[in-house]
Amino acid sequence: MRPDVGTQAQFKKRKPPATYRYDSSLSPALDWDGQNPAREQGEKQLSVIEENLSVVHRQLSVENPSTEDLKEAAASLRQAEEATRTLKALSKPFLNWAGKAERLSFDVPTLPLFVHERLSTKAIVETLTSHKRDKQQTMFELFGDPQHSVTDQVLRAYEHRDKWVNRMMLGDSLAVMNSLLHYEGLGGHVQMIYMDPPYGVKFGSNFQPFVRKRDVSHNDDEDMTREPEMVQAYRDTWELGLHSYLTYLRDRLLLARDLLAPSGSIFVQISDENLHHVKELMDETFGHENYSAILAFTKAASGLESVSRIASRMDYLLWYARDVARVRYAPLFEKRDDPIDSGFTLIELPDGTVRALSREEKDGRAPMPEGSKFLMSVLMTKPGPGSKYQVEFKGRVYDSGRRWWGTTQEGMQQVIRANRVIATENSIRFIKYFDDFQFKSLSNLWDGLGGAADPVYVVQTSPEVIKRCILMTTDPGDLVIDPTCGSGTTAYVAEQWGRRWITIDTSRVPLALARQRLLTATFPWYELKDEPRGPAGGFVYVRKQNKKGEETGGIVPHVTLESIANNEPPKEEVLVDRP
Ligand SMILES: C[S@@+](CC[C@H](N)C(=O)[O-])C[C@H]1O[C@@H](n2cnc3c(N)ncnc32)[C@H](O)[C@@H]1O
C-alpha cells in the first residue's frame, strides 16, 4: 500500500482532525455542590437507573412474560448496570491537576504520512558486504551454520505477510499515532506498545540533543538542542511543568489504548519520581482491573549517590493489559543456578537415605557426597476442597488434617510407589528434586540487568528489559509500537525476534542514531515452523541437553506431583526465549 517515496495517493484527500474524548465521569470529583458538573452527571445516572429498573419491573410483573419481554428487561438491566458503574466511578478518588477538568476532549490533526526513505533488505545486505573482510569473517563464524552457505546466511531476513515493512517515523507521537489510527487503520491491531517517555519535565530526562555528546545536564544552554521544532516542542510541552507532563502522557495513553489489540499489552517505563502519578493515569485510561504488574529492574549504579538521599538503583515498568480477560501472556523462565539458594536443602544419598545438608555443606566448606541429589519436601495437602482419605505409609497412618489431599487416593499410591514421599513428624510430604525442573518462572523483580551495554544514547534502555516484555506478550509476526524511539531499542529487539515494528520520535537526533544502529545490526536467525507464513507461523523449539545433562533447548520437561500421580510423562515447558 505504501509508495516508494512521497505521499500515498489515498492521503491526497485531506481528512478532518480527529477528536478524542475522555470519560467525563472520571473528572471532576463527586462533591455534590451546585457548581460541580458531577452533580448533574450523578443525577442523570440516577434517573437512568430508575427508568430502567421500572422497565424491568413492568416487564416482569406480567403473567407469563414472553421472550420479547424478557429480552427487553435484560437490556434495561444492562443499562442500569452501566449507569451504576458510571456513578461508582464518580465516587472514586482520582488524580487531578491544572487543566485536567477542562480537557474533556482534544483535537489532533489527522496528517498524511510522508515516505522519506525506503530501505530494502538488499540495501542492508550491500552495507554488510561492504564491511571489511576480517569483520565479515568473525560474523560468519558467529552464525556459522553448516546447513547454509555464507550468502544464504547473510541474505536471510524475516519477511512478513502482505509485504509488511517496519517503520521509523519522525513526528510527535500524538499526531503519528492518530495517523496510524485514521490513515493506516491500525486501531486494534497492535499487540504491544513499549513507551519510555521522558521520566520528568527536566530537559536531560527527555532526550540527548546531539549525536556525539552523551553527558546531558539539566537546564544547561550548552545542552539545548539546535533543532528549532524541538525547542518549540519542548517549550510547549512542559509549559506547566508536572501538570503539562500529566496531560501529555494521558493524551498519548488514550491513543495507545485505541491502537492495542484486545489481547494486547502496554508497558510504560518510568523512574520512582513519577511512578505513582503514571500509575494513576494508567488506572484511569486502561481501568484498574487491567493492571498487570509493576516490574522493577535495576539500572547501572553510577552517579546516583547523593548526600541527602539513598542511592536509587531501580527503574520501573507499568504493565497494563488492554483487556485482562483476553491478554496474551507467555511466562518466562530463568535457570536456577544454585539448589541451596533455591531452597533445596535436603539431599538423597546413593543408598536412598535423605538428610538435611550440614552447615559446612551449605556454605561450601564441605563437598557434597558423590552421587547425591538435592531435594526439598513440599506439602501434599491443599486448603480448598479435594479428597479426604487415610494413607498408610511405612507402618503409620496419615490423614489430611483440616485440609484436603491434593491428589486422589489412587494418585497417592502412585506417588508412594515412585518413592516420592517422605514422612516428617506428623505428616507425609512430596519429594521434589532439583532436577525435576531446573527453572523458575520470572517474577516482577528483574535484577542484575544493569544499563544498556555500550549505549549510543544517553537514555537508552537495556535490550534485555524490552526483550522480556516482547517475549511475554507477543508472538512472532505480531506488531510492536514504541512511540518514544530514542536509540531504537524496541525496534532492534523486535527485529531480532521476528516481530513487526513501528517506532516514533520527535527528534532527528535519536532517529539518526536508531537508523544507524538498525542498519548495522546483525542477528541470529531462528528457524521458522512454516516458512511461507514467515515469523507469524512461529519458531521451532527443540529439546536439547549438554554433556552435564542440563537442559539447554527450548523445550524442557517439568516433572510435577500431578504428572507422577497420574503416571503421565512430564509436562513440557516451552522456553520462548530459546528458539
Ligand atoms: C527516554 S527516551 C527513550 C529511550 C529509548 N527507550 C532507548 O532505548 O533509547 C524518550 C524519547 O522520546 C522522545 N519523545 C519525547 N516526546 C515525544 C513525543 N511527543 N513524540 C515522540 N517522541 C517523543 C524523545 O525525543 C526521546 O528520544
For all residues of the chain together, what is the average pLDDT? 85
Mean pLDDT on 82-111: 86
What pLDDT, on the 0 to 100 scale, is given for residue 224?
Answer: 62
What pLDDT, on the 0 to 100 scale, is given for residue 30?
Answer: 45
Strands (E), 240-395: 260-270, 291-298, 314-321, 333-335, 346-348, 354-356, 373-378, 381-382, 391-393
- pLDDT-based confidence at residue 526 (cuts at 50, 70, 90): very high
575 C-alpha vs ligand 1 centroid, how far in Å? 31
Ligand 1 site, residue 456, Cβ cutoff 6 A:
no
Task: Indicate if the pLDDT at residue 567 is higher than 90.
Answer: yes
Closest CA to 415 of 372, 377, 374, 371: 377
What pLDDT, on the 0 to 100 scale, is given for residue 222?
Answer: 64
What pLDDT, on the 0 to 100 scale, is given for residue 453?
Answer: 72
Phi, psi of 73 (to 5 degrees): -60, -40
Q: Determine the Cα–Cα distance for residues 235 and 17; give it in Å rounded to an integer.
A: 23
What pLDDT, on the 0 to 100 scale, is given for residue 78?
Answer: 93
From residue 84, alpha-carbon distances to 31, 42, 485, 571 in Å are 17, 10, 41, 45
**Could you please report the per-residue DSSP string of 509-533?**
HHHHHHHHHHHT-----PPBSSGGG
C-beta atoms surrounding 221 within 10 Å: 5
From residue 304, alpha-carbon distances to 208, 301, 307, 310, 360 in Å are 19, 6, 10, 9, 38
Pocket test for ligand 1, best of 482, 484, 516 (most atoms within 8 A of CB): 484
3-class DSSP state of 375: strand
What pLDDT, on the 0 to 100 scale, is given for residue 28?
Answer: 44
Task: Indicate if the pLDDT at residue 280 is higher than 50.
Answer: yes
From residue 151, alpha-carbon distances to 208, 223, 450 in Å are 38, 45, 36
Please write the tens of the pLDDT for every residue from 298-324. 876 554 567 788 888 889 999 999 999
Pocket test for ligand 1, best of 207, 224, 231, 268 (most atoms within 8 A of CB): 207
203 C-alpha vs ligand 1 centroid, how far in Å? 12
Of the listed ranges 92-101, 159-168, 250-259, 529-538, the one predicted with least confidence: 92-101
Which are the contacts of 147, defined by CB distance < 8 A and separation ≥ 6? none
- pLDDT-based confidence at residue 119 (cuts at 50, 70, 90): confident
What pLDDT, on the 0 to 100 scale, is given for residue 458?
Answer: 72
What pLDDT, on the 0 to 100 scale, is given for residue 218?
Answer: 58
483 C-alpha vs ligand 1 centroid, how far in Å? 7
Task: Indicate if the pLDDT at residue 414 is higher than 50.
Answer: yes
Q: Determine the Cα–Cα distance for residues 478 and 576; give it in Å rounded to an integer.
A: 14
Strand partners, 333: 441
Contact 193, 260 (CB under 8 A): yes
- pLDDT-based confidence at residue 434 (cuts at 50, 70, 90): very high
From residue 479, alpha-carbon distances to 299, 319, 532 in Å are 27, 17, 18
Q: Which atom of ligand 1 is nearest to the CA of 207?
A: 26
Ligand 1 site, residue 196, Cβ cutoff 6 A:
yes
286 C-alpha vs ligand 1 centroid, how far in Å? 22
Rg of the chain, C-alpha, whole Å: 29
199 C-alpha vs ligand 1 centroid, how far in Å? 10
What pLDDT, on the 0 to 100 scale, is given for residue 256?
Answer: 98
Contact 90, 162 (CB under 8 A): no
Give the burial class of 143: count Cβ atoms within 10 A of its Cβ; 0-12 exposed, 13-18 middle, 19 or more buried: middle
- Higher-confidence position of 31 and 85: 85
Mean pLDDT on 84-102: 82
Strand partners, 374: 347
Helices (H), 260-315: 275-286
Mean pLDDT on 497-507: 95
What pLDDT, on the 0 to 100 scale, is given for residue 88?
Answer: 81
Task: Report which protein residue has its CA nearest ligand 1's atom 3.
Answer: 486
Ligand 1 site, residue 171, Cβ cutoff 6 A:
no
Q: Which atom of ligand 1 is nearest to the CA of 252?
A: 19
Please write the tens of the pLDDT for every residue from 128-173. 666 644 455 555 554 445 455 455 555 677 889 888 999 999 999 9
Contact 112, 179 (CB under 8 A): yes
Phi, psi of 225 (to 5 degrees): -65, 155
Q: Determine the Cα–Cα distance for residues 332 and 461; give it in Å rounded to an integer.
A: 20
Q: Which atom of ligand 1 is nearest to the CA of 507?
A: 25
Sequence letter at residue 154 = V
Ligand 1 site, residue 507, Cβ cutoff 6 A:
yes
Contact 552, 527 (CB under 8 A): no
The bridge status of strand 439-441 relative to strand 333-335 is: antiparallel
Q: Determine the Cα–Cα distance for residues 365 and 374; give it in Å rounded to an integer.
A: 17
Q: Determine the Cα–Cα distance for residues 292 and 324; give it in Å rounded to an integer.
A: 8
Contact 39, 29 (CB under 8 A): no
What pLDDT, on the 0 to 100 scale, is given for residue 133?
Answer: 47
Ligand 1 site, residue 459, Cβ cutoff 6 A:
yes
Ligand 1 site, residue 274, Cβ cutoff 6 A:
no
What pLDDT, on the 0 to 100 scale, is given for residue 233?
Answer: 63
Q: Determine the Cα–Cα distance for residues 64 and 62; give it in Å rounded to an integer.
A: 6
505 C-alpha vs ligand 1 centroid, how far in Å? 6
- pLDDT-based confidence at residue 89 (cuts at 50, 70, 90): confident
Is the torsion defined by CA of 188, 193, 198, 201 positive or negative? positive
Q: Determine the Cα–Cα distance for residues 111 and 561; give it in Å rounded to an integer.
A: 59
Strands (E), 134-238: 167-170, 190-195
Closest CA to 507 of 249, 250, 231: 231
Q: Which atom of ligand 1 is nearest to the CA of 514?
A: 9
Task: Report which protein residue has its CA nearest ligand 1's atom 12.
Answer: 484
Task: Indicate if the pLDDT at residue 486 is higher than 50.
Answer: yes
Task: Indicate if the pLDDT at residue 226 is higher than 70.
Answer: no
Ligand 1 site, residue 198, Cβ cutoff 6 A:
yes
Please write the tens of the pLDDT for every residue from 17-50. 899 988 765 554 445 555 566 777 888 899 999 9
269 C-alpha vs ligand 1 centroid, how far in Å? 11
Contact 434, 345 (CB under 8 A): no
Please write the tens of the pLDDT for every residue from 185-215. 999 999 999 999 987 766 556 666 666 666 6
Name the residue with cell 496419615. 398
From residue 513, alpha-carbon distances to 19, 177, 508, 509 in Å are 34, 22, 9, 6
Ligand 1 site, residue 482, Cβ cutoff 6 A:
no
171 C-alpha vs ligand 1 centroid, how far in Å? 11
Task: Report which protein residue has its CA nearest ligand 1's atom 4.
Answer: 486
Ligand 1 site, residue 554, Cβ cutoff 6 A:
no
Question: For the chain, first and last CA: distance in Å?
Answer: 32
214 C-alpha vs ligand 1 centroid, how far in Å? 15
Q: Which atom of ligand 1 is nearest to the CA of 487?
A: 9
What pLDDT, on the 0 to 100 scale, is given for residue 86?
Answer: 82
Mean pLDDT on 113-117: 87
Mean pLDDT on 84-98: 81
Ligand 1 site, residue 238, Cβ cutoff 6 A:
no
Of the listed ranges 24-38, 70-84, 367-381, 564-578, the one predicted with least confidence: 24-38
